[in-house]
Chain A
């Protein structure tokens, strides 16, 4: 069974701090997606990384796909209260085969 473990599970930080969320698996994925979900809403796609070693930036968010395409990280610089939410990674293997990570709940305090 494919598993995607995220760490940390919970994170509470002050506004302005930096943080990194990790998404790890023993399986290889063709691509990996990151989503953010706020209470009462569905997950919203942040980014898709496809190539091993790929780095993508979305304003203060930096996403990296591991060289072996088994893991990924999300780094947030100078976190803001608006970054609060549940962060989910999702590994994609084959057509329409998604494995969601265990989730990281982030709270940024003003």
Chain B
């Protein structure tokens, strides 16, 4: 298993600004994942972050809008750039440390863009 913390837990930001979300894991993991979730709805994968290489983005998500850093095996950041109200959502990071690919999620960051 893994214990994941995220900062901030929530934020209210103005249109046009950027927010960086931090994700810290209590053990070393190869892959980290970033998801977006509208309240009460399912998860949409933004990107997969492997330490030491560029993140892999899913269709509809681009690096200029959602730059990701992965400086070591326990930490990652996701930046939401040039925010608009459509970026208001919950952002979750997760890891899958075991052989079965079972994911462990952080508590999420609730972002509101005004």
Contacts and interface: CB of A to CB of B under 8 A. Distances in A.
Q: Interface extent on B, as a size class?
A: 20 to 34
Interface string B50-66: 00000000000000000
A40 B107 contact: yes
Contacts, number: 55
Contact of A40 (B100, B103, B108): B108
> A43, A44, A101, A105: which has the most chain B beta carbons within 10 Å?
A43
A40 B108 CA distance: 7
Contacts of A92: 101
A98 B103 contact: yes
B105 A42 contact: yes
**Secondary structure class of chain A's binding surface, majority of residues:** strand
A78 interface: no
A105 B41 CA distance: 9
B29 to A, nearest CB: 11
> B41, B42, B94, B106: which has the most chain A beta carbons within 10 Å?
B42
Nearest to B101: A92
Interface of B: 4, 31, 33, 40-45, 48, 92, 94, 96, 100-108
